[in-house]
Structure 1
Amino acid sequence: MDQRISFVTLAVADVEASRRFYVDGLGWEPELLVPGEVLMLRAGERLVLSLWDAAAFTAEVGEAPRSGPGVSPITLAHNVATPAEVDAVLAEARAAGADPVADGVAREWGGYSGYFADPDGFRWEVAHNPGPIGLSVLP
């Protein structure tokens, strides 16, 4: 098996709310939209973020281990080149309606990051990681 990820699929409560947030709010371009079913967004050269209706997700994949209150045990990350870009992206997400989870702060590992939550509460880290692995993911 090749060492790569092709799709990240998240079960969402309302595909239209996700579309409004990611497309209208953040300006992402949909690759595929089937209203009420799925929204697919190109997230990298060979990576797609798929936002799939929760009922359809459960019917195919099964019940998620976490179905109660709290935060899903996953984060998505968007790396940028500078701390100022972290703050700008956080502001853009909040203007689009994101839950402002945490402002950007200097981290003990040498970077700078903050968090926002999308309409379903999925946490996005916006990070400046000056180390080799952080620099390797920048465009």
Structure 2
Amino acid sequence: MDQRISFVTLAVADLSASRSFYVDGLGWTPEMEADGVVMIPVGEHVILSLWDRAEFEEEVGPIATGDGVAPFTLAHNVATREEVDSVLELARSLGREASEGQERVWGGYTGYFSDPDGVRWEVAYNPGPVGQSVLPG
């Protein structure tokens, strides 16, 4: 098996709200939309799939629920600290919960916002080699 991820799928409670957030709010462009799913290219050979929760559960199985945040984050790396603050402000302007950017002990600068289903996105400036390797161009 190749060492890669092709899709990140989010089972969403309200597909219309999630589509509005990612497409209308963040300005991302779907590649495919069908009944119950929106697929958005988010990198070279990587698709973010927003899938209606009920349809997700029908195919994959029941979703575990409980208090707290999901045990994962999605990350969007940027080239500067200022871009971190700009993306966090955009999330706030869309009515989403967003932290303030913070200097991190490892030398970077990050903050977090949530999408309509509470999925946490990290916005990160990472000046190190790994952080630079994920930036476009």
> Would you say same fold, with TM above 0.5?
yes
Choose from 87, 109, 122 the match for 1:125. Answer: 122
Contact 1:25 1:97 in 2 (8 A): no
Unaligned runs of 5+ in 1: none
- In 2, Cα distance between equivalents of 1:7 and 1:99: 25
State the TM-score, normalized to the length of structure 1: 0.94
Unaligned runs of 5+ in 2: none
Which of structure 1's runs of 4+ aligned residues deviate more than 2 A? none
Q: Which position in structure 2 is the counterpart of 1:41?
A: 40
Q: Which position in structure 1 is the counterpart of 2:77?
A: 79
Aligned residue pairs total 136
**Superposition RMSD on alpha carbons, in Å?**
1.0
Identity %: 65
1:1-139 alignment runs, 5 A limit: 1-35=1-35, 37-64=36-63, 66-100=64-98, 102-139=99-136
State the TM-score, normalized to the length of structure 2: 0.95
Q: Which amino acid aligns with 1:8?
A: V
Q: Which amino acid aligns with 2:122?
A: E
Q: Which amino acid aligns with 1:93?
A: A
